[in-house]
Amino acid sequence: MTQTALVVGASGIVGSATTQLLLANGWQVAALSRHPSQAAGVIPVAADLQDPDSVKQALEGIKPTHVFITTWSRQATEAENIKVNAAMVRNVLDALSPGKSVKHVALVTGLKHYLGPFEAYGKGTLPQTPFREEQGRLDIENFYYAQEDEVFAAAERDGFTWSVHRPHTVTGVAVGNAMNMATTLAVYASVCKATGRPFVFPGSRVQWDSLTDMTDARQLAKQQLWAATTPAAANQAFNVTNGDVFRWKWMWTRIADYFGLHPAAYPPSVSPLETQMADDQAAWTDIVREHGLKEADINRLISPWHTDADLGRPIEVITDMSKSRALGFKEFQASDQAFFDVFDELRKQRLIP
């Protein structure tokens, strides 16, 4: 029987990778976003996830066997994050409930499960690394927990299985995405090369020196598909990374080499991208004009605040993947190649020079 999927947040980094993987494996896919793109083999579904009536109308007649929730909406405070993002999950699952078609729901969250929300990021008492799934929730408000609780409640009501996926920083391609380190660094490197500015690492000394890991969107998509189709993985949460570790002092050199830059030494003080790139629109406009690029608005490509949050952490961040490995998930992706693949695709789409 053909499996049918609803990908929520299909235009984002994770949603687009998930959609592509499902299509490649012969699934029928409905792709839900506020402004869905027209893609071969995909049923576009346009809806405002914060409006239950909009979601209900958009999903009328759509009966997926599997739902992949890959989106969130950043708000000014964590209380508002909880209110909005929990409602988005609830609106989708409530709209699908009458059809009784759903067998499994996969929810993508992340390492803020262990680190806390942005307004309390890396502060207070934190779990020891590597982060493991059996570590309990922090005693702090967190919209990831609220999203999980919506999935758990709907699963109990409607009888489907679930999986939760916790990636580290995700690399992939999606214009206008709120969390996009690879594209942000590609634009930053391009500006440095064009203007002669030093290619300065923007994060903390701890991140520069310590071990860390990352998650390719394709790796995350593979784990979601594996969990959705592996009975032993039902009703469990999984960390997901590429499977390797690195230090940023090494990765910074790898990225610099790709763009033909000399990596600067670690600076005397932290140099966040929000400060370094605050006035880069003019330089980017010149680059776009010179190279005939497609996206003139630098803010649709970069997310300095998010890259600064990840690279500015005061603690080592390593993620344990033993749980899914023991159950049979064996996929691997080299993290430097994951960056290069994004850069290659950005060049192919004429988004960077």
Q: Which residues are catalytic?
A: 112, 144
Q: Answer whether the bond into residue 130 is a cis peptide, omega within 30°.
A: yes
Contacts 24+ apart (CB under 8 A), 288-293: 290/194, 290/353, 291/350, 291/353, 292/350, 293/350, 293/351, 293/352, 293/353
Contact yes or no for 192/198 (Cβ under 8 A): yes
Q: Measured at the alpha carbon of residue 144, what is the angle toward residues 70 and 99, in degrees to the nearest 5? A: 55
CA distance 169 to 312: 13
d(C-alpha 98, C-alpha 92), whole Å: 11
Specify the pairing of strand 104-108 against strand 28-33.
Answer: unpaired
Per the CB < 8 A criterion, the answer to whether 182 and 258 are in contact is: no
223 with 256: CB under 8 angstroms? no
